[in-house]
């Protein structure tokens, strides 16, 4: 992890989750979360004509509302 990447994570208030090597189950759980965000957040907003910049800016608020529905794997 580079210094710039660490600074980015701190600035965005994001924690890094690294999947175990050679563990497709863990990787699949993370990929399902990405698919969930793409299909449930972006698809609706971009079809409504919202600009990509405004759609990206709305992600934190959406995640706060959906936080109870999204569960990260416990590893």
Q: What is the pLDDT along the chain (75 residues), one digit of tens a residue?
A: 799 988 988 888 888 877 677 777 777 777 887 888 888 888 778 777 778 888 888 888 887 776 655 555 544
- The pLDDT assigned to 53 comes to 85
DSSP alpha helix (H) spans, the chain: 3-12, 24-37, 43-47, 52-57, 59-66
3-state secondary structure at position 18: coil
- Residue 70 included in any domain: yes
pLDDT at 72: 54
When divided into structural domains, the chain yields a total of 1
In a domain, 28, yes or no: yes
Nearest alpha carbon to residue 59 among 37, 44, 43, 35:
37
Residue 5 lies in a domain: no
Residue 2 near residue 57, CB atoms below 8 Å: no
Confidence (pLDDT) at 75: 44
Q: State the residue range of the domain holding 69.
A: 20-75
């Amino acid at each position: 992890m580079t210094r710039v990447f660490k600074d980015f994570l701190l600035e965005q208030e994001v924690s890094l989750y690294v999947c175990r090597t050679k563990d497709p189950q863990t990787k699949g759980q993370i990929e399902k979360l990405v698919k969930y965000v793409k299909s449930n957040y972006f698809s609706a907003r971009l079809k409504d004509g919202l600009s990509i910049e405004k759609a990206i800016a709305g992600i934190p608020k959406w995640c706060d509302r959906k936080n109870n529905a999204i569960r990260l794997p416990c590893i």
